[in-house]
């Protein structure tokens, strides 16, 4: 055990983001730990949990990049989802037990488009019992496994796009773009209810998280066989490109590092901060009086 602890201390200070294509059948945390082990990173976290049955884009953040993970968690996400009509499960997906059935297992393209339209935009969604939300200090899925059901207040979510890809004989494929906190399996159950039937989600694949696209993600196998792991690390400021940048001179950089404010011009509220050598320093907020103060500095990666 002592040898393991010693080895871990020798892990490098790695800062950045790796885009993983999470495989089916393992938790997001286990997938993260596998990637962390490959890169031998001291500190790691993922952005936006995917259930074990789901696959797709899971940004893995290392070092100082874990401090921007919340921005990715809060971003919009896009999924490919498969819906099976006629069978409802207690979990809302293919891992659960059947709790209800319907003879209505096929619908027309026109019916699908109409139901999708009714569920597009700002809606309210009741979270499923099989979810990680808390109720009186307990996870909802723990209560569900005990056979308990509690009231869950509806939560506002935004369905930006709910589009049918293809209406197959036994299932329907969708592409769905949603705001944070949206449960796709619940959305598909609500979709089925619009059509006076029941449904469950049989597959889910995430293709986009914020600015990051699934086109750039790598499988565990690809990472395991890569001869140059470092080339797959994305600088963490790429997750923040929605914010404009400010280039600081040497004196301004030192002032901000030492907790001082500086005078600055700009029309935005929050900025990415870079030193005169274009090295990313952190984030700063600019008030109406033109005073820029630090919001968050990434000194470990800056000095690394």
- From residue 57, how far is each of 122, 155, 254 by CA, in Å? 25, 25, 38
Burial (CB count within 10 angstroms: exposed 0-12, middle 13-18, buried 19+), residue 8: exposed
What pLDDT score does 133 carry? Answer: 73
Residue 285: closest CA among 251, 243, 241, 225: 243
Burial (CB count within 10 angstroms: exposed 0-12, middle 13-18, buried 19+), residue 211: middle
Total Cβ atoms within 10 A of residue 103: 6
Q: What angle do CA 285, 290, 291 make, to 5 degrees?
A: 55
Catalytic residue among 13, 51, 142, 287: 51
What pLDDT score does 63 carry? Answer: 92
pTM of the full structure: 0.88
Strands 172-178 and 77-85: antiparallel
Q: Where are the alpha helices (DSSP H) in the chain?
A: 2-9, 28-39, 69-73, 109-118, 140-145, 184-194, 220-224, 250-257, 299-303
User: Angle at which helices 184-194 and 109-118 pack, to 10 degrees?
Assistant: 120
Domains, the chain, with CATH or none: 2-75+212-238 (3.30.2350.10), 77-209 (3.30.2350.10), 243-303 (2.30.130.10)
Could you give the CA distance from residue 276 to residue 256 in angstroms, rounded to a whole number? 13
Structure tokens at 84: 């099976």
Q: Residue 116: how many CA atoms within 13 Å on its side-chain side? A: 22
What pLDDT score does 254 carry? Answer: 95
* DSSP output for 88-103: EESSSBTTS-EEEE-S
- From residue 131, how far is each of 135, 157, 278 by CA, in Å? 11, 16, 43
Taking the chain (304 residues) in runs of 10, the rounded mean pLDDT of each run is 50 88 95 94 88 95 88 89 97 94 97 98 88 74 76 92 97 97 96 98 96 94 92 92 94 94 92 95 94 91 76
Residue 51 annotated in active site: yes
Contacts of 240 (CB under 8 A, 6+ apart): 68, 71, 272, 283
What pLDDT score does 6 carry? Answer: 45
């Amino acid at each position: 055990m002592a040898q393991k602890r010693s080895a871990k201390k020798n892990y490098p200070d790695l800062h950045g983001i790796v885009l993983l294509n999470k495989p089916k059948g393992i938790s997001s945390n286990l997938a993260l730990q596998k990637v962390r082990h490959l890169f031998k990173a001291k500190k790691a976290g993922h952005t936006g949990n995917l259930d074990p049955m789901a696959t797709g884009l899971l940004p893995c953040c290392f070092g100082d990049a874990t401090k921007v993970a919340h921005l990715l968690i809060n971003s919009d996400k896009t999924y490919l989802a498969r819906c099976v009509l006629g069978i409802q499960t207690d979990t809302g997906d293919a891992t659960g037990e059947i709790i209800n059935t319907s003879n209505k297992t096929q619908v027309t393209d026109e019916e699908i488009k109409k139901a999708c339209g009714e569920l597009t935009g700002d809606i309210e969604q009741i979270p499923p019992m099989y979810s990680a939300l808390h109720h009186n200090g307990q996870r909802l899925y723990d209560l569900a496994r005990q056979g308990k059901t509690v009231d869950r207040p509806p939560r506002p979510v935004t369905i930006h796009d709910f589009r049918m890809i293809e209406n197959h004989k036994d299932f329907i494929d969708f592409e769905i773009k949603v705001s944070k906190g949206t449960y796709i399996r619940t959305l598909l159950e609500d979709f089925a209810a619009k059509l006076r039937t029941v449904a469950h989600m049989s597959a889910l694949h995430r293709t986009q998280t914020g600015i990051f696209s699934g086109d750039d993600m790598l499988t565990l196998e690809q990472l395991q066989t890569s001869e140059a792991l470092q080339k797959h690390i994305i600088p963490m400021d790429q997750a923040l490109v929605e914010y404009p940048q400010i280039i600081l001179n040497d004196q301004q950089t030192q002032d901000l590092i030492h907790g001082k404010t500086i005078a600055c011009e700009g029309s935005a509220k929050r900025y990415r901060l870079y030193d005169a050598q274009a090295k990313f320093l952190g984030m700063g907020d600019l008030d109406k009086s033109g005073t820029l103060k630090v919001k968050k500095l990434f000194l470990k990666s800056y000095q690394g």
